[in-house]
Amino acid sequence: MARRLNGKVAIVTGASKGIGKAIAKLYAEEGANVLAVFHSDETGATSTLEEIKAAGGEASLLQADVSKKADTEKIAEAAVRIYGRVDVLCSNAGIYPLVKIEEMTEEDWDHVLSVNLKGTFLAVKACLPQMQAQNYGRIVCISSTTGPRTGIPGLAHYGAAKNGIIGFIRNACLELGKYNVTINAVEPGAVLTEGVKDLLDETTIKEIEKEIPLKRMADPLDVAYAALFLATDESKYITGQSIVVDGGLILPELPLRLFE
């Protein structure tokens, strides 16, 4: 069976763990040459690279800070230098420190928006010239249900940034379409990443899963499959849209346990 990204060149930011790692591995499994970008977790990034290589895929690593213009330009340049083009950008890098508004500093706010929202803009802007030259591109931005659809105490800055991503893609698609470049988003719900496991104990995780219609938190791979679809030509007539991947979590009007 033909691999869905065979021969494509894909950049994945935040690829050292969690959702980004799952996306990088799946893109490589589907035939893409992957530039896996990480910020500080070199051990995790190396693990991503080794797992891709062990499965017969092709990937390279690059350390960069997506909140810095020069770094995002370095990312695009590296992809072209190593692999010759940029077909797919998956802007996934993000942070989610819990801070209540009354305790949140201006620096807290700026840091989260700089990485999560500004980083998305800068990565897209850096890759756009190559995509324009090719007259081809698929951009996938990882947003969240937190912000666009729901809220969590302590994540006002995160929710603002993730909601901003949705506004960004809806406007950007109007500019990018003439270059045969699509831009879409994925909105994950509760995903059982390494970071979430560090934040929540097993009892809390089980309580959350009781409120999810599919009765489990998402595996990062569940999100990666949506990001794969939006990176393929199967989605070539979809742009400015977002896919919710949450097992139905946002739909119940009242706690599900009241009806069981």
> Hey, which residues are catalytic here?
158
Q: How far apart are the first and last CA of the chain?
A: 43
Counting every residue written for the chain, the total comes to: 260
Can you read off the two tokens belonging to residue 258? 């009241």
Whose tokens are 């995790």? That residue is: 44
DSSP string, 99-157: --GGG--HHHHHHHHIIIIIHHHHHHHHHHHHHHHHT-EEEEEE--SBTTTB--TT-HH
Q: Where are the beta strands (DSSP E) in 132-209?
A: 137-142, 181-188
Task: Report the alpha-carbon distance of residue 186 to residue 169 in Å, rounded.
Answer: 11
H or E element that contains 38 = strand 33-38
